[in-house]
Amino acid sequence: MRWIFLLLLLAPLPGLCGGPALSSGQLLYVPVYSHIYTGDKERPFNLAVTLSIRNTDTKGTLRLTAVDYYDTEGKLVRSYLDAPRELGPLASIRYVVAERDVKGGSGANFIVRWESAAPVNAPVVESVMIGAQSGQGISFTSQAREIQ
């Protein structure tokens, strides 16, 4: 009896010590910036935004059910999906906000919702912002955070 208890204690628990936890879906918040401010006068510096969603599962398909872009005030600017979109194993998709589109503001964000029929590796969801003005360029990335 004691051996069974000891074996149970030593058995790896999914997501704790046996590798990454699998998921059947998530709601993700991705911070992005359609512009940032430079200098003492806080001059806007426009940025192009690329939202990248990458299915990291080698066998499972996931379905995107929402890719929504919100402004600094939390108001919906644009929904990128008219219907759910399937993303096959190791497939990627991107959504772009043009550099001249400043509707989102410096506190813009994406909300991404995905689901899967069976548990899969969670996707990598991140944004890349890039801009250039007067010979000066800037670029940086931001990663998604799971929310409820």
Domain ranges of the chain: 30-147
Note the pLDDT tens digit of each residue in 8-67.
455 555 555 667 889 999 999 999 999 998 888 888 899 999 999 999 999 999 999 999
Residues 6+ apart with CB under 8 A from 70: 76, 77, 104, 108, 109, 110, 111
What is the enclosing helix (H) or strand (E) of 2?
helix 2-10
Q: Mean pLDDT, to the nearest integer, of 110-120? A: 97
Which DSSP string corresponds to 4-61?
HHHHHHHSPPTTTTSSSPPEEEEEEEEE--SEEEETTTTEEEE-EEEEEEE---SS--
Tens digits of residue pLDDT in 74-95: 999 999 999 999 999 999 999 9
The total of other beta-carbon atoms located within 10 Å of residue 43's CB is: 11
Instruction: Tell me the pTM.
Output: 0.84
**Which overall architecture, per CATH, does domain 30-147 show?**
Sandwich (2.60)
Q: How far is CA 118 from the centre of its chain?
A: 20
